[in-house]
Amino acid sequence: MSEGIEMPKDFLWGGAVAAHQLEGGWQEGKKGVSIADVMTAGSNGVARKVTDGVKDGEIYPNHWGNDFYHMYPEDIKLFAEMGLKCFRTSIAWTRIFPNGDEEEPNEAGLKFYDDMFDKCLKYNIQPVITLSHFEIPYHLVKEYGGWRNRKMIDFFDHFAEVCFRRYKDKVKYWMTFNEINNQIDFRDPHPLLQDSGLEMTDEDNWEEVMLQAAHYEFVASAKAVQLAHKINPEMQVGSMIAMCPVYPLTSKPQDIMKAERAMQYRYFYGDVQALGFYPEWMEKYRDRKGYDLDITNADLATIKAGTVDYVGFSYYMSFTTKAHDGETHFDFDEHNDLVSNPTVPKTDWGWQIDSVGLRYGMNWMTTRWHKPLFIVENGFGAHDKLEADKTIHDDYRISYFHDHILEMEKAVKEDGIDLIGYTPWGFIDLISASTGEMKKRYGMIYVDQDDEGNGSKNRYKKDSFYWFKKVIESNGKDLGTDIQK
């Protein structure tokens, strides 16, 4: 395998997680119930359910996560051993505001993050923080209908302001909404609920409701950017986009047009947050569909004044689409219009493996938005085997990271892309967002726990741990697959 390219000085090598997927301790420190706390376990191909409150007899894996809430001091020591320069996690909104609509924050929750961040900083690991990562307070879903309600802007910005003030000297890089564009994935009801707390009724046009919710999130996010700059001008606030580039299946012009439309539809969120305005086609689209959204001139001014400092994004896979016969609008519907790409392999969960897509996506975003980028998620969900001597030989994961890091390095060195850092997803095993499984593992650190929460919870270093440590030590130059333990 080939050698890598040295990255710029101060490049932030790190790791990424989200509060609800690893903390556990769901009722500790007066934490409230979040949407993730009422999501049952699913499995490969079986969607998770959102129950009406916590029900007896159901399994809720986010209640225990991987127990980071209790184990973080030891875990962060391991992160330091790996050489991480930054640690991306989220602040569970319900630890700070248990119901979401309180005036006063919960001190126990604030203190937890103070202590955890201090532990990171002691090892020169800087926390990188997402404010809303699929963990909206459940009370806001039930009482207000989640982000279909304009009041959410104030609740979110109050939460954001409390966090900015409290951690202004501990956290430089922030993101407002995790994968803000992922809610268009309407394959089953949960993405809308998970991202924005939207429960659909039979009267709802889901797309109209979703576009309205996204609009309120854009306004809330733009206000948060401005608030952060007022509190500490050093703070950098980013968007967070799920980048899955959409390719045309063939060179048929209709397929090209369809793929272009798919890119517009999936990534207009970035247009709004990075450029500060809605793209032209979207206004026509809303008119054509007859959507009557609550978008005021004051909102548009806020969006313009609060563009993000950088674009954070996740990259796991690329998609492929093709036009239907006789199609004229080329409207993209994620549920029906994705086709399999015969030229790339897939993970056991059907995610297409395509390292070049990472470089393609980085170029696409830079040409369009001209903002620094930050790869805040990338990774390979796979079945791992814990050997009798507690080793894990995950050469498939090393190979995935090798290929993606090499493409990332080319994007920086050859294409001139301004990249802040790279944080592989779930670098310590945690609960999968889409399936609720533990066995869909992304980690370089193994956590001995099964899908039902049984196990010692001991942490073991996988082969990829030693490999990534060497990558960081050489600042990206040594991507060789030999490892020394």
Give the catalytic positions in this structure: 377
Q: With binding defined as CB under 6 A, does residue 451 bind ligand P53?
A: no
Q: What residue type is 29 in one-letter code? A: G
- 23 vs 179, beta carbon nearer ligand P53: 179
Integer CA distances (angstroms), 365 to 14, 100, 125, 331, in order: 22, 33, 28, 21
- Write the binding mask 299 to 318 for ligand P53: x where contact by CB under 6 A, - elsewhere: ---------------x-x--
Sign of the torsion angle spanned by Cα atoms 169, 170, 174, 176: negative
Q: With binding defined as CB under 6 A, does residue 65 bind ligand P53?
A: no
Angle (CA) 215-423-474 rounded to 5° is 150
Tell me which stretch binds ligand P53 (CB under 6 A): 74-82, 109-117, 199-207, 431-439: 431-439
Tell me which stretch binds ligand P53 (CB under 6 A): 69-77, 153-161, 432-440, 446-454: 432-440
Which of 439, 436, 430 minimizes the C-alpha distance to 16?
430
To ligand P53, the closest distance from the beta carbon of 16 in angstroms equals: 8
Give Dmax (Cα) for the chain: 64
Tokens coding 42: 């699913």
Q: With binding defined as CB under 6 A, does residue 377 bind ligand P53?
A: yes
Q: What is the Cα 233 distance to its own chain's centre?
A: 25
- Write the binding mask 85 to 114 for ligand P53: x where contact by CB under 6 A, - elsewhere: ------------------------------
Q: With binding defined as CB under 6 A, does residue 369 bind ligand P53?
A: no
Single out the residue of 432, 444, 453, 461 in contact with ligand P53 (rule: CB under 6 A).
Answer: 432
CB 268 within 8 A of CB 279: yes
Single out the residue of 381, 421, 443, 453 in contact with ligand P53 (rule: CB under 6 A).
Answer: 381
- 39 vs 227, beta carbon nearer ligand P53: 39
- 218 vs 425, beta carbon nearer ligand P53: 425
- 8 vs 350, beta carbon nearer ligand P53: 350
Phi, psi of 321 (to 5 degrees): -140, 165
Q: With binding defined as CB under 6 A, does residue 440 bind ligand P53?
A: yes
Phi, psi of 459 (to 5 degrees): -100, 135
To ligand P53, the closest distance from the beta carbon of 269 in angstroms equals: 14
- 106 vs 239, beta carbon nearer ligand P53: 239
CB 178 within 8 A of CB 88: no
Task: Tell me the Ramachandran region of residue 159: left when phi exceeds 0, alpha when psi lies from -120 to 50, beta otherwise.
Answer: alpha
Task: Tell me the Ramachandran region of residue 57: left when phi exceeds 0, alpha when psi lies from -120 to 50, beta otherwise.
Answer: left
- Write the binding mask 236 to 265 for ligand P53: x where contact by CB under 6 A, - elsewhere: ------x-----------------------
- Write the binding mask 155 to 194 for ligand P53: x where contact by CB under 6 A, - elsewhere: -----------------------xx--x------------
To ligand P53, the closest distance from the beta carbon of 61 in angstroms equals: 11
Residues 18-37 that bind ligand P53 (CB under 6 A): 18, 21
CB within 8 Å of 301: residues ≥ 6 apart: none
How many residues form the binding site for ligand P53 (CB under 6 A)? 16
- 147 vs 285, beta carbon nearer ligand P53: 147
Tell me which stretch binds ligand P53 (CB under 6 A): 35-43, 113-121, 409-417, 429-437: 429-437
- 163 vs 317, beta carbon nearer ligand P53: 317
What DSSP letter does each residue of 6-55 carry, written as one string? PPPTT-EEEEE--HHHH---TTGGG---BGGGGBPP-BTTB---B-SS--
Q: With binding defined as CB under 6 A, does residue 434 bind ligand P53?
A: yes
To ligand P53, the closest distance from the beta carbon of 26 in angstroms equals: 17
Q: With binding defined as CB under 6 A, does residue 467 bind ligand P53?
A: no
- 138 vs 316, beta carbon nearer ligand P53: 316
HEC string for 362-426: HHHHHHHHCCCEEEEEECCCECCCCCCCCCCCCHHHHHHHHHHHHHHHHHHHCCCCCEEEECCEC
Task: Give the SS3 label for residue 341.
Answer: coil
Q: What residue type is 68 in one-letter code? A: F
Q: Which residues bind ligand P53 (CB under 6 A)?
A: 18, 21, 134, 178-179, 182, 242, 314, 316, 377, 381, 425, 432-434, 440
